[in-house]
Amino acid sequence: MPPPDDTELIRRFQAGEESAFNELVRKYQQPVYTALHRLLNSHEEAEDLSQETFIKAYTGLKNFRGDSSFFTWIYRIATNLGLNALRRRQLRRILSLDSIGLTLTSRTPGPDRQVEDRETQEILSRAIDRLPPKQKLVFTLRYFENLPHAEIARIMNRNVGTIKANYHQAIRKLQKAVQA
């Protein structure tokens, strides 16, 4: 027998079957964590916000109307929490003046390919961290999660054109950072 789909699990949960929610958590826990980890680049924050995502989903699922898929709904909760965390992080950096020292240095290719690859990864990682929150989220969902633009638009509650523009801008900024 195939596992129940999300709609069936939601119906069962709304009818009072708590174990149906546990099945949804098992199904989406890793994808939610992965998306948050890539967005925040922090294991601890991703774990905390994953838990918070499912707590919010648990409390809100009784009123879930199904206007979007559960996947879209849970990702929207997670990405909103992730964006809020990025905003708080950015505000802390501004207030503590730590951001002054966060500049990329030029790459100097060395004879060892592994060292060069690691440097490129570090530069790219720092550049991704410096993207504006919405561009970072769009880039993360598209590039790392392989989500189509339309799905990202539903998750972020934006139109597809805006998502494509944010992705294109993020790519240009990352290319500049890696070429510097």
Residues 108-121: tens digit of each pLDDT: 444 555 565 567 67
Co-location of 139 and 52 in the same domain: no
Question: How far apart, in whole angstroms, are the C-alpha atoms of residue 10 and residue 127?
Answer: 39
How many beta carbons lie within 10 A of that of residue 33, not counting itself?
18
Mean per-residue pLDDT of the chain = 84
Q: Do 17 and 87 reside in the same domain of the chain?
A: yes
Range of the domain at 44: 1-101
* CATH code, domain carrying 59: 1.10.1740.10
Q: Which two tokens stand for residue 56?
A: 């919010």
Domain end position, chosen among 78, 101, 124: 101
Q: Which one-letter DSSP state was computed for residue 99?
A: G
Tens digit of pLDDT for each residue in 72-83?
A: 999 999 999 999
Q: Do 12 and 64 lie in a common domain?
A: yes
| 112 shares a domain with 93 | no
Q: Distance (Å, rounded) from C-alpha 25 to C-alpha 22?
A: 5
Cα 178 to Cα 55: distance, rounded to the nearest angstrom? 38
117 shares its domain with 71: no
pTM comes to: 0.67
**Residues 129/42, Cβ–Cβ less than 8 Å:** no
pLDDT of 116 reads: 59
Question: Do 156 and 166 reside in the same domain of the chain?
Answer: yes
Those residues with Cβ within 8 angstroms of residue 87's Cβ, 6 or more apart along the chain or in another chain: 133
How many domains is the chain built from? 2
Q: Are residues 47 and 113 in the same domain?
A: no
147 within 8 A of 163, measured Cβ to Cβ: no
Query: Do 89 and 15 sit in the same domain of this protein?
Result: yes
